C-alpha cells in the first residue's frame, strides 16, 4: 500500500474512531429508559399558626418524584392579616375569618383540577399552647373556627391542631436537612447515596412564645424525654430536641420587664436598659402579667394600674438583665444542662438559626458570618442610639420593632451563649438563614413531608435506571473504537 493510500486509510479510521468515541460518550450520558411527558405537579399547604402571626405556605412537587430527595419546592407564602390565632380567644370566629384572604389567594394559584387533591394542614405552635394552658375551652373554639373556615374550600383538609414543642423542633430539623439533601442525595452515576453524618445540620428556631434547639450530639442522650428518633430513607437518626415554652422573644421580653420592675416604686418611671434612649411609654400592669409566663409574678395590686417606662439604651445592662430570666442555679453540679434544670448535651456540628434569629440579625446586618466580637459591638452600637433618631432613620419600620431590636438581639446572645453554651469558636458554626434551596426554613415543610409520607422510612429504590440496550450500544462503540485504534497502530508501524 502506498504512502498516500496508507495516510488516507489512517485518516478514515481516525475519523471513524473519533465519531465512535463521541457516540459512546453521548450514549453513556443518557440516563432514562424513556422520555415521558412532562410530569404533573402536586401541591400541599400548611398554615403556620404562630404566637404573633399566621403564614400559609404552598409547596409543590412533580407527581412522579414524591420520594426523591429535594424535589419539594416552595411555591408561595401568604402572610395572614392580623395577629396570631391565639389572640382571638374572645372572638374565635374572627380567627377563621382572618384566614380567608390567604385561602382565596391559594385557590388562585393552585389549578382548580388539583385543589381537591391538595393536602392541607394547620399547625398551631406556642401561642396556642399557652392559650390552651390558660383557657382550653377558648383554645378548642379557636381551632374549631379555623377548621370550619378551611373546610369550606375544595381541598383535602387534614385538620387543625396544636403541635408539641418537640414536634416543632424535630420538623424544623427535618426541613433543613431535607432541603440540603443531607439525608439522601441522588448522584450523577444513578445511585442513592447517604452523605456523611458531618453534613447533618442542627436547628435553632426562635418564635414569639417558644424557642427550639435540635441536633445530633456526639454523646448518648441521657434524658429520653429530650430524644426524638426517626427512620428516614432506611437510616436511623437520633436527635436531641427541646422546646422552651415562654422563651420565645416576645415572652422573653415580658419576663425581662418583670425583672426590670422588681422592687421598683411604680409611681416613678421604670428604667429599661433594653429600650433605646429617649423611649417613653405608659403601660398597664395587665399588659405585663396577662401571660401564663409572667402571671406567677403578678403583684397583688389591681392590674389596671398604670406605670411609666423610660428607655436607657445600655446594651451591657440589658444583657445582664436578660440573664436573670433563666434559672441557672437549677443546673448546679450538672455538666450537661442549659437552664431551668433542662438536660442538654454539648452543642456540636453546624447549625442553621432561623425565624426570629434571622429577622433580628438581618435588620442589624449580622447574617454574613460575622465573628462574635463584631456581633456584640454592632448590638451595643444599636442599643446606644436615640429612639427619635431610629424613628427618623427607619421610617418604614414598625416602631415597636425599633424599640425591641436591642432587647431581642441581646436576648439572642444570652440564649445562644449562656443558655445553649455556644462560645467564640462554636459561634462560627451558626448560620443565620431565612431560606435553604429557595425555601423558607421552618417546621412546616418537615410537618407536611412527615404527614404525607414523602420521606419514606425505607431507602427508595433507584428511580432512574440506565437502559440496557443503550449501554450495550455504548459498549459496542467503545470496543469498536479500540479495535479501530489497534488497526491504525498496526498499519502505521508496518
Residue spans per domain, the chain: 3-30+468-493, 41-191+446-451, 201-433
pLDDT of the residue at 186: 59
Query: In angstroms, how far is CA 411 from the centroid of its own chain?
Result: 19
**Hey, how many other C-beta atoms are within 10 angstroms of the C-beta on 196?**
8
Q: Which pLDDT does position 59 carry in this prediction?
A: 97
Give the per-residue pLDDT at 405.
Answer: 98
494 burial via Cβ count (<10 Å: 0-12, 13-18, 19+): exposed
The contacts of residue 254 (CB under 8 Å, 6+ apart) are: 288, 291, 293, 294
What's the pLDDT score for residue 336?
96
How many angstroms separate the Cα of 431 from the Cα of each of 51, 205, 225, 417? 24, 12, 27, 15
Report which of 77, 102, 78, 83 is spatially closest to residue 142, judged by C-alpha positions: 83
C-alpha span between 435 and 286 (Å, rounded):
37
Low-confidence spans in the chain with pLDDT less than 70: 1-39, 64-70, 186-192, 194-198, 460-494
DSSP assignment of 457-481 equals SSPPPPSS---HHHHHHHHHHHHHH
Element (DSSP H or E) covering residue 259: helix 249-261
From the list 145, 167, 168, 226, the catalytic residue is 168
Query: Looking at the domain 201-433, which fold is it?
Result: Nucleotidyltransferase; domain 5 (3.30.420)
User: 402-405 contacts: CB < 8 A, separation 24 or more?
Assistant: 402/276, 403/275, 403/276, 403/279, 403/311, 404/249, 404/253, 405/360, 405/363, 405/364
397 is catalytic: no
Do the domains 41-191+446-451 and 201-433 sit in the same CATH topology, yes or no? yes
pLDDT at 487: 52
pLDDT of residue 456: 81
pLDDT, position 34: 38
Let me know if 5 is exposed, middle or buried by CB neighbors in 10 A (0-12, 13-18, 19+).
Answer: exposed
Give residue-wise pLDDT tens across range 270-328: 999 999 999 999 999 999 999 999 999 999 999 999 999 999 999 999 999 999 999 99
Rounded alpha-carbon distances, angstroms, from residue 50 to 148, 217, 252: 19, 28, 16
Question: What are phi and psi for residue 449, nearest 5 degrees?
Answer: -60, -40
Q: Please give the pLDDT value at position 184.
A: 77
Q: What is the pLDDT of residue 5?
A: 61
pLDDT at 357: 98
Superfamily of domain 41-191+446-451: ATPase, nucleotide binding domain (3.30.420.40)
Residue-wise pLDDT for 92-114, tens only, equals: 999 999 999 999 999 999 999 99
pTM value is 0.84
Amino acid at each position: 500500500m502506498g504512502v498516500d493510500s496508507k495516510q488516507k486509510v489512517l485518516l478514515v479510521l481516525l475519523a471513524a474512531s473519533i465519531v465512535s468515541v463521541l457516540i459512546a460518550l453521548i450514549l453513556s450520558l443518557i440516563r432514562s429508559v424513556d422520555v415521558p411527558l412532562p410530569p404533573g405537579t402536586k401541591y400541599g399547604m400548611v398554615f403556620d399558626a404562630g404566637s404573633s402571626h399566621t403564614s400559609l405556605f404552598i409547596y409543590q412537587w412533580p407527581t412522579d418524584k414524591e420520594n426523591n430527595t429535594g424535589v419539594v419546592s416552595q411555591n408561595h407564602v401568604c402572610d395572614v392579616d392580623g395577629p396570631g390565632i391565639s389572640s382571638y380567644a374572645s372572638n374565635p370566629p374572627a380567627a377563621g375569618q382572618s384566614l380567608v384572604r390567604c385561602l382565596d389567594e391559594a385557590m388562585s394559584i393552585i389549578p382548580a383540577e388539583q385543589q381537591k387533591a391538595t393536602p392541607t394542614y394547620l399547625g398551631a405552635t406556642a401561642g396556642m399552647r399557652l392559650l390552651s394552658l390558660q383557657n382550653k375551652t377558648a383554645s378548642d373554639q379557636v381551632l374549631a373556627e379555623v377548621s370550619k373556615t378551611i373546610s369550606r374550600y375544595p381541598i383535602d383538609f387534614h385538620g387543625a391542631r396544636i403541635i408539641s414543642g418537640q414536634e416543632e423542633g424535630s420538623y424544623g430539623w427535618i426541613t433543613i436537612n431535607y432541603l440540603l439533601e443531607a439525608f439522601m442525595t441522588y448522584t450523577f452515576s444513578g445511585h442513592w447515596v447517604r452523605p456523611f453524618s458531618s453534613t447533618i445540620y442542627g436547628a435553632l428556631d426562635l418564635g414569639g412564645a417558644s424557642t427550639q434547639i435540635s441536633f445530633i450530639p456526639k454523646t448518648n442522650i441521657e434524658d429520653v424525654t429530650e430524644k426524638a428518633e426517626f427512620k428516614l430513607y432506611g437510616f436511623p437518626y437520633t436527635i436531641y430536641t427541646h422546646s422552651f415554652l415562654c422563651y420565645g422573644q416576645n415572652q422573653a421580653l415580658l419576663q425581662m420587664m418583670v425583672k426590670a420592675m422588681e422592687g421598683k416604686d411604680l409611681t416613678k418611671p421604670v428604667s429599661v436598659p433594653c429600650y433605646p434612649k429617649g423611649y417613653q411609654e405608659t403601660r398597664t400592669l395587665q399588659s405585663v402579667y396577662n401571660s401564663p409566663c409572667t402571671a406567677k409574678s403578678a403583684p397583688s395590686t389591681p392590674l389596671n394600674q398604670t406605670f411609666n417606662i423610660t428607655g436607657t439604651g445600655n446594651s451591657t445592662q440589658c444583657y445582664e438583665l436578660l440573664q436573670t430570666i433563666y434559672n441557672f442555679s437549677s443546673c448546679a453540679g450538672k455538666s450537661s444542662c442549659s437552664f431551668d434544670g433542662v438536660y442538654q448535651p454539648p452543642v456540636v456540628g453546624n447549625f442553621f438559626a432561623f425565624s426570629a434569629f434571622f429577622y433580628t440579625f438581618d435588620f442589624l446586618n449580622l447574617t454574613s458570618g460575622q465573628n462574635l466580637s463584631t456581633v456584640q459591638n454592632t448590638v451595643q452600637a444599636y442599643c446606644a442610639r436615640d429612639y427619635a433618631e431610629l424613628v427618623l432613620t427607619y421610617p418604614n419600620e414598625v416602631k415597636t420593632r425599633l424599640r425591641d431590636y436591642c432587647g431581642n438581639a441581646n436576648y439572642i446572645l444570652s440564649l445562644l451563649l449562656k443558655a445553649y453554651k455556644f462560645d467564640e469558636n462554636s459561634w462560627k458554626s451558626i448560620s443565620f438563614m431565612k431560606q435553604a434551596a429557595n425555601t423558607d426554613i421552618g417546621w412546616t415543610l418537615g410537618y407536611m413531608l412527615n404527614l404525607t409520607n414523602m420521606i419514606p422510612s425505607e431507602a427508595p429504590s433507584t428511580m432512574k435506571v440506565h437502559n440496557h440496550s443503550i449501554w450495550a450500544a455504548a459498549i459496542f462503540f467503545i470496543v469498536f473504537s479500540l479495535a479501530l485504534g489497534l488497526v491504525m497502530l498496526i498499519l502505521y508501524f508496518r
